[in-house]
Amino acid sequence: MGMKQQIYDALVRRNAGVQDEYERYVMAHLDEHQRNRLRHWKLLAALNWHYRVRSRSAPLLTQDAPPKRKGKKGAPPREAALHYPESEALLRRDPEKLARLLGRYDIVSFDLFDTLIFRACASPQDVFWLVGNALYLTNFHQIRRDIEKECRERHADHEVFLEEIYETAAQRYGIDKEKGMRKELELERALCFANPYMQQVVKLLQEQGKRIIVTSNMYLRSDVLRELLASCGYDLKEIYVSCEQGCSKRHGALQRKLSQSFGNSTVIHIGDNYRMDVEGSRMAGWKAVHYPNVSELGKPYRGTRMSVLSGSVWQGLVNAKLHSGEPLDPYYEYGYAYAGYLVVGFCKWLNEAAKRRGIDRFLFAARDMDVVYKVYRQCFSQVDSAYIRASRTSSIHLSFARHIDHFFDWHIRRRIRSALTLKAVLQELELDFLIPYLSQAGLCPQELLDGDNAPAMKALLYAHREEILAHYAPERQAAEAYYRAQIADAKHICFVDLGWKGSTASSLEYFLKEICHLDVEISSALLGSEGHAFVDEKIDTGKLESYIFSSQANADIMRVHNRNGDIWRRIYEIIFTSKERSLLRFCLNAQGEPDFVWLREEIRDPQIIDAMQQGIMDFARDYTRIEKRLGADFVIAARDAYRPLFRILHETEYNLRLFQEFEVCFIAGNVSRQRAEMFKDVVMKGGK
């Protein structure tokens, strides 16, 4: 058990009065709990003083309000940022501790939905969108809710069966009652999955031989719920449902009715709805434990403008993963909650692009597309694909004849503020043979590269163009053999990369078409592109497409991205990188076969990369499994896919805490470890 959990248990859970009032208040004020944690710490201190020091038994709080405090009249409450990592926003007991607590009683009662079982959607009613789609009934989401409410109002006990709801729908809209019920139950089952935290608790209780019952407020009959529990891996037979019992948990009526057959047995109930599961149970004389609702805990983090189907599934999966009670690595959480949905949307978009443009082979560029390639192959592989060795540095070497200015910008201009001599610059670029020519150009090998002598260095490249091309000839020979093998017999290849200008793909297009004379159509697909005229030209001619944003689509997002400079770009690079080293150049080995020369090992923790990639891949697996069970293939709009990451990108302090010791040097070539630039350096410089 972690230190935070021990502290929480000591301050909250060792006194029933403190726990009852504090956790009840937190659940009633979740937004405030995230924004103003200091106020809640003060409340916790007051509760401990009240119950433990003064030994009072009467409740301290009235109507869920914290103790009154003095403050400036009219002063607005000070808001705090959301707590990250999100999975630690509310710490739960270890399953073993909860099982020991529950095991003290003769009978343990569990709520069903949002306790034993989760739904992969933001709201339970979101399933009605899918039912309406199957029944060809527009706005069935609202219709279904209204009919259920109306049916409940017909009965004194407000209980209703699913059959009555669909009888009314059939009378009004001419739908087939049985078909409607079957479809709703089918989709309900498809969305449901076991709460892994509660599965552990139930297993431990069953090993103790404890009597376990399920108590639910629901319009589905017990045999349906028993089947649903079994499909989620539970072996629980004793199920009591409000619609069959004719009474609800809300005021303890259902619990009191059940108690009549329990004799003197002690009962404890656990559930997510405080009013029904906790207050209702206590009204009936049962003990109760609150299991805060995962959707309510996640709501402040999720935003409010997600799509009603694909976005709802994302919310349901993430809320369950982060708030069920399972311990999570913060980097895994980052990949699962914030990057996974974007990668899924990107992969779906790639397949649509392939159909639209006749692409028959995707080439995912190292290193930034490592995890995207893995997800594509794992979940979305509709088009032949390969993961290729490529880098901006190597591609500039291959296209030097045509892109000499780009070579200068990328290799020399970026080093102007690096405090390097001209000799050292050429050595880093493995162009030592140009050093004797410096004096002929009026330059001193020992003078520092700066804005004044940079134009002369550019002129040096022009003057010795043919010698540089000859120097790169073995690279071109090795690269041609390598890329021919990767392209094979494809007719239209698409280079897939992160962003932002498509320069790697442009360089390789020139190399493959003009130098290698390959008869293949070449295009590129980026996650995002920046608003440069030469990028727009590629988009206009159909050679480049961008998923999230470009100057021609979602330009408002692009402008926000650009305003945040290198900080956001480098977070992208961290999220999507791989553990392998960056490619410096191609070469030929002793057997004359293509091989690679790598840059030095960078300063980055491979465990962080593994955890983020695993989070992304697990989300993709979970999401596509739900789609398969639903028989659906949702379209994920770019804006929707980007929202989770867009939100976390604004949490600069949290990103700094996670990635501060990650190397993010953007200077190409053999940069020494001593000159390595870390993410914290970029943030401290304001992304410059």
In the predicted structure, residue 28 carries a pLDDT above the cut 90: no
H-only helix segments in 324-450: 330-334, 340-357, 370-375, 392-398, 404-407, 422-428, 437-440
- Same domain? For 503 and 601 the reply is yes
- Same domain? For 281 and 363 the reply is no
H-only helix segments in 64-192: 95-102, 127-135, 140-153, 162-173, 177-191
Q: How far is CA 509 from CA 20, 227, 411, 477, 677, in A?
A: 66, 57, 20, 16, 31
d(CA 688, CA 682): 7
In the predicted structure, residue 478 carries a pLDDT above the cut 50: yes
In the predicted structure, residue 148 carries a pLDDT above the cut 60: yes
Over residues 403-413, the mean pLDDT reads: 93
Range of the domain at 413: 401-471
687 band by pLDDT with thresholds 50, 70 and 90:
low
Residues 111/270, Cβ–Cβ less than 8 Å: yes
Q: Of residues 671 and 604, which shows the higher confidence score?
A: 604
Beta bridge partners of 524: 495, 544
In a domain, 654, yes or no: yes
> What local confidence, expressed as pLDDT, does residue 23 receive?
63
620 band by pLDDT with thresholds 50, 70 and 90:
very high
In the predicted structure, residue 51 carries a pLDDT above the cut 50: yes
In a domain, 147, yes or no: yes
DSSP string, 434-448: GTTHHHHTT--TTSB
The encoded tokens of residue 65 equal 């309000």
d(CA 262, CA 480): 79
Over residues 377-382, the mean pLDDT reads: 98
The encoded tokens of residue 194 equal 């076991």
Q: CB 556: neighbour CB atoms within 10 A? A: 9
- Same domain? For 144 and 265 the reply is yes
The encoded tokens of residue 198 equal 């509660």
- Same domain? For 13 and 147 the reply is no
Q: Phi and psi at residue 534, in whole multiples of 5°? A: -70, -25
- Same domain? For 203 and 339 the reply is no
In the predicted structure, residue 668 carries a pLDDT above the cut 60: no
- Same domain? For 12 and 116 the reply is no
DSSP string, 614-669: HHHHHHHHHHHHHHHHHT------HHHHHHHHHHHHT-HHHHHHHHTT-B-----S
Closest CA to 192 of 141, 148, 239, 229: 229
Q: How far is CA 628 from CA 22, 69, 275, 631, 633, in A?
A: 41, 54, 36, 5, 8
Sign of CA dihedral 564, 565, 571, 577: positive
Least confident of 106-120, 379-393, 450-464, 550-564: 550-564
> What local confidence, expressed as pLDDT, does residue 499 receive?
87
Closest CA to 339 of 618, 6, 534, 554: 618
Over residues 151-160, the mean pLDDT reads: 92
d(CA 308, CA 311): 6
Three-class DSSP category at 526: strand
> What local confidence, expressed as pLDDT, does residue 80 receive?
45
Q: What is the mean pLDDT of the chain?
A: 90
Least confident of 336-350, 448-462, 531-545: 531-545
Over residues 184-208, the mean pLDDT reads: 97
Closest CA to 210 of 266, 254, 255: 266
> What local confidence, expressed as pLDDT, does residue 70 receive?
44
Residues of the chain above pLDDT 70, percent? 91
Over residues 225-243, the mean pLDDT reads: 97
The encoded tokens of residue 324 equal 């069920």
In the predicted structure, residue 670 carries a pLDDT above the cut 70: no
> What local confidence, expressed as pLDDT, does residue 527 receive?
96
- Same domain? For 532 and 615 the reply is yes
The encoded tokens of residue 286 equal 């049962």
d(CA 243, CA 76): 46
CA angle 22, 23, 26 (to 5 degrees): 90
State the total domains in the chain.
Answer: 4
Q: Prior bond to 292 cis, omega within 30?
A: no
In a domain, 15, yes or no: yes
> What local confidence, expressed as pLDDT, does residue 275 receive?
95
d(CA 338, CA 399): 36
- Same domain? For 232 and 363 the reply is no
237 band by pLDDT with thresholds 50, 70 and 90:
very high
Three-class DSSP category at 564: coil
- Same domain? For 512 and 633 the reply is yes
In a domain, 31, yes or no: yes
> What local confidence, expressed as pLDDT, does residue 78 receive?
36
Sign of CA dihedral 551, 552, 555, 558: negative
> Model confidence over 262-305: pLDDT tens digits?
999 999 999 999 999 999 999 999 999 999 999 999 999 997 68
Q: Could you say which of 293, 324, 350 is where a domain stops?
A: 293
Q: Letter for the amino acid at 218?
A: M
Give me the helix-helix angle, 127-135 and 140-153, nearest 10°: 110
CA angle 561, 566, 568 (to 5 degrees): 50
> Model confidence over 580-598: pLDDT tens digits?
988 999 999 999 999 999 9
The encoded tokens of residue 616 equal 């992304």
- Same domain? For 109 and 247 the reply is yes
Q: Prior bond to 367 cis, omega within 30?
A: yes
In a domain, 440, yes or no: yes
d(CA 286, CA 57): 19
In a domain, 309, yes or no: no
- Same domain? For 3 and 105 the reply is no
Q: Could you say which of 412, 443, 471 is where a domain stops?
A: 471
The encoded tokens of residue 196 equal 């892994």
> What local confidence, expressed as pLDDT, does residue 274 receive?
95
Number of H helices, E strands in the chain: 34, 14
Q: Of residues 104 and 678, which shows the higher confidence score?
A: 104
Closest CA to 271 of 410, 429, 90, 111: 111
Over residues 544-572, the mean pLDDT reads: 91
In a domain, 316, yes or no: no
136 band by pLDDT with thresholds 50, 70 and 90:
very high
In the predicted structure, residue 30 carries a pLDDT above the cut 70: no
In a domain, 312, yes or no: no
- Same domain? For 630 and 643 the reply is yes
DSSP character at residue 416 = T
In the predicted structure, residue 73 carries a pLDDT above the cut 70: no
Residues of the chain above pLDDT 90, percent? 75
In the predicted structure, residue 81 carries a pLDDT above the cut 60: no
Q: Could you say which of 409, 442, 471 is where a domain stops?
A: 471
The encoded tokens of residue 292 equal 């805060």
| Residue that has been written with the tokens 């009191």 in this structure | 256
d(CA 238, CA 205): 15
Q: Letter for the amino acid at 36?
A: N
Kindly report the CATH number assigned to the domain that includes residue 184.
Answer: 3.40.50.1000
> What local confidence, expressed as pLDDT, does residue 26 receive?
60
Q: Find the farthest-apart pair of alpha carbons in the chain and give their distance in angstroms, rounded.
A: 103
Residues 403/377, Cβ–Cβ less than 8 Å: no
